Amino acid sequence: MASSAVGSTNTRTFVENLSYEHSPLEKTRARDDAVLAAYKYLITHRTASRLSLVANVHPQRDAGLEPAAWYEDLVAPLLSELPGVSSPGPGTATWRYAPE
């Protein structure tokens, strides 16, 4: 489902519907754009580490946050709520995307 939504209104809708319940940050358009960019990166690459997300997505979509806060307070809590995303489990630092 989500893989066909890359670059479409549906993918943006998934992100815009996030509640930010698990993030200490308030919802803004720039923050939604950052999560959307991280989501698209994960969809494209199928796996991603914290390092790869920070190195490849943060510079273009920092949402006004330093890298550590961008990842820990924004991307990590919200990315795991999106369709097809598996957050890193015990003993791994790898995010995974598998179409639903």
Read off the CATH number of the domain in which 11 is found: 1.10.10
Contact 23, 74 (CB under 8 A): yes
Q: List for the chain the helix, strand, coil content (%; round to 5).
A: 50, 10, 45
> CA–CA separation, 14 vs 100, rounded Å?
14
Contact 87, 20 (CB under 8 A): no
The 3-state DSSP class for residue 7 equals coil
Query: At residue 25, does pLDDT exceed 90?
Result: yes
9 confidence band (pLDDT: 50, 70, 90): low
Query: At residue 2, does pLDDT exceed 60?
Result: no
Read off the pLDDT of residues 56-65 as tens digits, 9 standing for 90 and up: 999 999 999 9
Q: Give how many domains the chain has, as a whole number.
A: 1
Tokens of 72: 């820990």
Tokens of 79: 């990315």
Q: Count the Cβ atoms, other than its own, within 10 Å of residue 13.
A: 10
* Residue-range definition of the domain harbouring residue 44: 3-97
